A and B are shown apart, each in its own frame.
Chain A
Amino acid sequence: MTSTTTGRARHTVAPSRAGLRWDRFGLPSLLLAPLLAVVLGVVGYPIVRTVWLSFHEGEYLMTGAFNGVDNYTEIFGDPYFLAALLRTTIFAVVCVVSTLLISLAIALVLDAGSWVARIVTVVVLLPWAMPRVASGIIFKWMFNDQYGIANWLLVSLGFEQFKGYAWFNDGFASLVAITIAVVWHSVPFIAISMLAGLRATRGEVLEAARVDGAGFYQQLLRVRLPMMKPLLVILGVMSTIFAYQSFDHFLVMTTPPGGPSHSTEVLSLLTWLQAFTVLDQGVAAAMAVVTFVLLAAITAIYVKLSKEGA
């Protein structure tokens, strides 16, 4: 086999001399062409187009005249948008922190690694498969004021004030119920990824720490979590983006969407309503661009933090 590999091709298959050019340029381009077509057509173009639209008038989903930064001055002067921006950020922080902590706890429990743990691992991932629309509906039913199981449980535990408590009549209480539904849905993926990360930290270093007498928490905080830092950063970014993008649960669980009286409006829902209910795509595009820039900035901060500590 070594006779066929030329000096430069260590990870690639060495082509015959005649097919060299085809193999180095033609074939890979051909293989990548469909992906590039999709990436440019349904991702690249829309991004450029959204940025472009955000500087134009756009009533009734028709592109109008260039209007400079009018759309941006409009949204940053709009108290509902600013409230939604703040609300989404707080919601995201609560979601990310609880998702990461719960996921870590679950991963540590499953790290025990018996056959029982293997079955539980599958069970843990199951909520990820449930459609978000369905889980939103189910959680809304569980938080029903008269017949919901959540109120029944709370009253049985002695919290009498929850008898007939209407979660969705109030913005804050709605957000609590929605947060629970969203975290229930986002934990599985993160927990299983963390489990994989924890398993990968087993080995000589951990063994050395154990021999040196490190306890469970010392092993976790001083050895395993630092080793998992790159993964934790990725999971942090992912769950932040999940949370900022939450749409389905809000559309299903609040009536009218974003209500009562705008108290549960978040960025994605507000943007969508602005585009397809208010029918002003210029302003909606500006909102989308703000979200995009915000998420890019958050991602950059995460990446920077992960590099500094390492």
Chain B
Amino acid sequence: MTRKLIVYPAMAVICLVALFPFFWMIITSLKPDTEIFTVTPQFIPHEPILSRYTELFSGAIPRQFLNSLLVAGATTVVTGLIALLAGYALARFDIPMKRYLLIVILSIQMLPQTVLVIPLFTVLRTTDLLGTYQGLVLSHLALTVGLATYMLRSFFMDIPVSLEESAMVDGASRMKAVRLVVFPLVWPGLAASSIYGFITSWNELMFSATYMQQSSRETLPVALQQFFSSYYSDWGGVMAASVIFTIPVVVFFLLVQKRLMQGMVAGAVKG
């Protein structure tokens, strides 16, 4: 009983700290300026307004939103495909130097982004991909494929080989066995690595700010950072832009959180 007296209040505090910034962002975006700039904070807006959102939607935000969606979507799909193939190969075949390959894949995750940002700029400039969607997607792959492959490999390893074998004994080719028997079971893993790829790409700032700055193809993190530095005192507007920026990831996250947790748990326990 005493345990519960500690655990439940602690959970309440945890939720409060985790959720308050979300709450405050939304509330601030709905308040007129007179209610934002008060010494004693108003937790509930008296006269909520939506004009900040309508203003933003008549500006460049819809375009930037689509840009971000396109880049993050493409990164997610490509990451998923690459990781699915490589994860299967690493789980099922005796590959020479597999141990080292796995170490390399994991250590990609540990690389400082600053090591990649300069040469990738040169690569994109010489290949004319600077400021294009493809260029940014390519740079985001560097951040996503490592962990995604590792996650999917651990999911494949959980699926008994005997399932594929019996399908192959029954006359199916390996491709058919994999497609009909294995892929349906590996869906949770694909969901987990997809959300990971999507969130990484959607939120990424350093590459986006470097490669997309002078472009109508700029993505939301870049736009928001620039909006913030130019409309410094328009806190309501900045908060509304932040809400628009945050909603897709949070929705996506809530939809697949169960799968994501499974993926993370698999990663954590197997190390």
Contacts and interface: CB of A to CB of B under 8 A. Distances in A.
A84 B124 CA distance: 29
A292 B119 CA distance: 15
B118 A275 contact: yes
Contacts, number: 284
A196 B269 contact: yes
Candidate in B174, B199, B268 with the most chain A CB atoms within 10 angstroms? B268
Interface stretch (A93-101, A171-179, A242-250): A242-250
B50 interface: no
A38 interface: yes
Interface in A214-273: 230-231, 234, 237-238, 241, 244-245, 247-248, 251-252, 255, 267-268, 271-272
B113 A268 contact: yes
A197 B231 CA distance: 45
B interface secondary structure, majority = helix
B11 to A, nearest CB: 5
Interface in B142-192: 142, 145-146, 149, 161-162, 164-166, 168-169, 174, 177
A106 B11 CA distance: 8
Interface residues on B, range: 35 or more
A147 interface: yes
A137 B241 CA distance: 10
Name A's interface SS.
helix
A295 interface: yes
Nearest to A106: B14
Given A31-B88, A124-B18, 15 more contacts: A4-B165, A27-B93, A32-B89, A32-B90, A35-B149, A45-B123, A109-B7, A109-B11, A133-B225, A134-B224, A192-B265, A244-B112, A252-B228, A268-B114, A291-B112
Interface of A: 1, 4-5, 11-15, 19, 23-24, 27-28, 31-32, 34-35, 38-39, 42-43, 45-47, 49-50, 53, 61, 63, 105-106, 109-110, 112, 116-117, 120-135, 137-139, 141-142, 144, 146-147, 149, 152, 184, 188-189, 192-194, 196-197, 200, 230-231, 234, 237-238, 241, 244-245, 247-248, 251-252, 255, 267-268, 271-272, 275-276, 281, 284-285, 287-289, 291-292, 295, 299
